[in-house]
Amino acid sequence: MTQPTRTRSQAAEAAEDAGSNPSPNATFGDVVAARFDRRDLLRGLLGVGAIAAVVTPRALAAGSAQAAETPTRFPFAEIEAGSDTHHHVAAGHDAEILIRWGDPVLPGAPAFDPYNQSAAAQAQQFGYNNDFVGYFPMPGAADPAGHGLLVINHEYTNEELMFPGLGRQDIKSVAFAGMTQALVDIEMAAHGGSVIEIKRTAGRWAVVPDSRYARRITVETPMVLSGPAAGAERLRTAADPTGRAVHGMINNCAGGTTPWGTWLTCEENINYYFSGALPPDSPEAANHKRFNLPNSAYAWGRFHERFDISKTPHEPNRFGWVVEIDPFDPTATPKKRTAMGRFKHEGAAGIIAKTGQYVVYQGDDERFDYIYKFVTTGRAESGDRDLLDSGTLHVARFDTDGRGAWMPLVFGQGPLTPQNGFHSQADVLIGTRLAADLLGATKMDRPEDVEANPKTGKVYVMLTNNGKRTPDQVDAVNPRADNRFGHIVELTPDADDHAALGFGWEILVRCGDPAIAAVGATFSSATTRNGWFGMPDNCAVDGQGRLWVATDGNSPARTGRADGIWALETDGQGRGTGKHFFRVPCGAEMCGPYFTPDDTTFFVAVQHPGEADEDDPKAVPATFEAPSTRWPDFDPALPPRPAVLTITRRGGGRVGT
């Protein structure tokens, strides 16, 4: 497909997954290959289209019968897989729109007018492409699960769907011909995040208008860099000679919440926003290359000098961090916690270790990149509001015997020395990927969300896909070449201690259609034709310890289904059984799954509805005037709008029961 017809998300995926890891480290596939039977692996090495052997209707019926007989922790009636212009949720549940792009956030925000947008208006309204969603119960609330603050990431923008008369903009085909500074400034204001107060009344959720907690965070919001890299020369610019102050956050994908009531929001594909070129002898050349910088997916560098690396070569180093925000104080300055490393962060889900230390798991979302965890020096209960500024970042190595090790990324230890270009801990953190390369970390198939289950202590790693893995790169923990559908890995910390340096690992499920032998999917045989999924992305563990998986990359042309939420059994006889719970409208991606503390509300985020199906050669490029759906308003005068929904069980009770 040529660039002009590619959607922003598909073009972005190609860029983010270019695979900038040239190290000779073992891939997860190498590890899996050595651990599992070679004949089993060969099935995965076959091209997906090589065998189209679909099971018979009788076999499908037998599988459905087994699904009915297998004990399940998910007794809901699953929905049909498919794709249309609407969203769908399991019977007995209601999925209602809570807030959409352009809805008011700040008191006095203007009404949404897509034909007369401005940066000033957008900075007061709900941003674009909502991703991570987190819920904080309101202190002192009579119903903590029914009144609280919702925090939401705004990852990126689709200008072809946002702006009338514009069409797809990129550097290769149209050279950003339609972009102006006014449009760029609107895009910048649509990034970042939102804090809203929400309350449930008579079973229905609504945004509390004119809340004193309401906040919009954009690319212009003042922030500070804290931790070991703060003040480093490589973080200094002409605008900030201290190396401690930065404006804004960009491409905030997944995130997390902390026990002390703060929001962790993660900068991911920051390379999209930079243009220009460095001199070949620039000291930042190797580090920028390892980050696929610049990518020039946006025209920001034309109008804002800080996004042109030829003029501000250090500015990219000020992005790619985990940002901590106090949602209860709209005046609090967000802090970029450099101790947690700089890479394409997908999530920052934490758990308290046996030692009382706080452990944050993180994925680096690019093909052939790594899984990390950060362990604080202090204890979570210490009351230290800067707890995340001191600790040790580790990267994972997976061994062929089902064991693994967390390797500390500490200046002066092992190869992290001046001889290899590291002169301080700041250098290790700014160049986290390069440091991890030298330690021999295992190359993974796009590590996205990594979540610990507080009920069992298990850790689940979502590996979305890797179409670039070749047969000779197959390893133990990434067992398939041309891994288009991804897989999920389960980690077990040694001694059930998340601060431990060792762990065991197993593959929970290889994703894709089990009816196609060449795909090599390993869902339980109790999984129905609706229950399998591909491209696991984000996930959530509810209060009962049940795993819910959100997907990114399904399409009618590719898998015969839209993205959505699937429940996945992790224990017992039904382990590996998927069950379809929610699906998004056509062109959209599923994001943000998060539960209230009592599991009675499930928050989900629908991102970029209305995109064209890039895998369909007959698909017409989507535009503001001709999207693939006008969800959620279905008003011919309005474009599709990314939105957050609340899912509740009709009549009350826990979701998914």
- For residue 28, the model assigns a pLDDT of 62
Q: What secondary structure letter does DSSP report for 55?
A: P
Element (H, E) at 460: strand 459-463
Between 283 and 46, whose confidence is greater?
283
Domain annotation covers residue 384: yes
Residue linked to tokens 């997916």? 297
Q: What domain range includes position 426?
A: 3-649
Name the DSSP class of 111: P
657 in a structural domain: no
The pLDDT of residue 2 is: 31
* DSSP state for residue 219 in the 8-state scheme: T
* The pLDDT value given to residue 473: 94
pTM of the model: 0.91
The answer on pLDDT for 538 being more than 80 is yes
447, 462 in Cβ contact below 8 A? yes
Instruction: For residue range 223-269, list pLDDT tens digits in order.
Output: 999 999 999 999 999 999 999 999 999 999 999 999 999 999 999 99
Residue 656 lies in a domain: no
Query: In one letter, which amino acid is 390?
Result: S
pLDDT of 80 > 70? The answer is yes
Q: What's the pLDDT score for residue 27? A: 67
Q: Give phi and psi for 585, each to the nearest 5.
A: -70, 165
| Number of domains within the chain | 1
Q: What is the CATH number of the domain that holds 336?
A: 2.120.10.30
225 CB burial (10 A radius; 0-12, 13-18, 19+): buried
pLDDT value, residue 40: 42
For 363-372, what is each residue's pLDDT tens digit? 999 999 999 9
pLDDT interval class at 30 (50, 70, 90)? low
In a domain, 654, yes or no: no
- In the numeric block, the tokens 């019977």 are attached to 91
Does residue 512 fall inside a structural domain? Answer: yes
Tell me whether residue 655 is exposed, middle or buried, using C-beta atoms within 10 angstroms of its C-beta: 0 to 12, 13 to 18, 19 or more: buried
Dihedrals φ, ψ of 363, to 5°? Answer: -110, 150
At residue 203, φ and ψ (nearest 5 deg) are 85, 0
| Average pLDDT in the chain | 92
Q: Which of 392, 395, 350, 390 is closest to 372 using CA atoms?
A: 395
User: Which token pair is 616?
Assistant: 């369909």
**Where is average pLDDT lowest: 2-11, 95-104, 590-599?**
2-11
List C-alpha distances in Å: 18 to 160, 279, 295, 367, 522: 23, 22, 11, 7, 27
pLDDT in tens, 384-399: 999 999 999 999 999 9
pLDDT in tens, 557-613: 989 999 999 999 999 999 999 999 999 999 999 999 999 999 999 999 999 999 999
Q: Is residue 344 part of a domain?
A: yes
User: Does some domain include residue 94?
Assistant: yes
pLDDT, one tens digit per residue, over 162-201 is 999 998 888 887 889 999 999 999 999 999 999 999 999 9
Domain annotation covers residue 234: yes
Contact criterion met (CB below 8 Å) for 467 and 453: no
Query: Mean per-residue pLDDT for 31-49?
Result: 41
Per cent of the chain over pLDDT 70 is 91
Confidence of residue 67 (pLDDT cuts 50, 70, 90): low
CA distance linking residue 245 with residue 227, whole number of Å: 13
